[in-house]
């Protein structure tokens, strides 16, 4: 059993083309007392993710910020991967922290969701939820596949009809890795249902 205030659930959202607009239909619907930390890996260059985090924070009840090096993950917070750097989750004793790296781009992008998902292999969360939203390419598929070999992860894929670009969610679904396919407006409710509130 987790101790009081201990983080034991994590949600990782991957998005690319169309993501900033689509995230406005997900993040503001999350409750401020969500019983999980949320990481968003949105393909963006350096200098743009801080303004995205600020805009989503203004629209939301849950706290949203750009990820910082060495920052401890806490429930009821949303962390947006910093543009131009990969983000991984590291564990120290019973706590989890964010690490930013300048390793080369993967799948032509940095941050890359595959990198973040694969970093979760060495974690010990009770619940992992992956969300794959609108975007070109196949980022998230390899990372979720590799993670699923070691951990249980519940994967939500955005549907074709509400995706601005049906690339990333299509690839994860066609790979047989999605547990449920949902329209954009139902994703936040499914996240909340899966991890609960404090």
Catalytic (active-site) positions: 16, 43, 139
Cα–Cα dist 16/41, whole Å? 8
Cα–Cα nearest to 74, from 25, 24, 39: 39
Nearest Cα residue to 23 out of 144, 161, 141, 131 = 131
Residue partners of 111: CB distance under 8 A and separation at least 6: 41, 42, 43, 44, 81, 82, 83, 84, 85, 86, 87
| CA atoms lying within 13 Å on the CB side of residue 14 | 35
């Amino acid at each position: 059993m987790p101790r009081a205030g201990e983080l034991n659930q994590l949600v990782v959202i991957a998005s690319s083309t169309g993501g900033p607009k689509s995230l406005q239909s997900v993040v503001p619907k999350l409750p401020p007392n969500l019983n999980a930390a949320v990481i968003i890996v949105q393909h963006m260059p350096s200098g743009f993710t801080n303004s995205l985090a600020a805009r989503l924070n203004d629209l939301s009840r849950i706290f949203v910020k750009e990820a910082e090096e060495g920052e401890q993950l806490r429930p009821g917070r949303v962390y947006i991967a910093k543009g131009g750097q990969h983000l991984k989750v590291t564990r120290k004793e019973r706590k989890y922290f964010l690490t930013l790296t300048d390793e080369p781009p993967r799948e032509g992008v940095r941050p890359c969701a595959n990198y973040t998902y694969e970093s979760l292999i060495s974690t010990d969360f009770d619940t992992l939820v992956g969300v794959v939203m609108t975007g070109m390419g196949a980022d998230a598929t390899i990372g979720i596949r590799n993670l699923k070999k070691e951990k249980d992860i519940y994967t939500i894929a955005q549907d074709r009809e509400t995706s601005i670009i049906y690339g990333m969610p299509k690839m994860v679904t066609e790979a047989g890795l999605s547990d449920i396919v949902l329209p954009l407006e139902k994703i936040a409710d499914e996240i909340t249902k899966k991890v609960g509130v404090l």
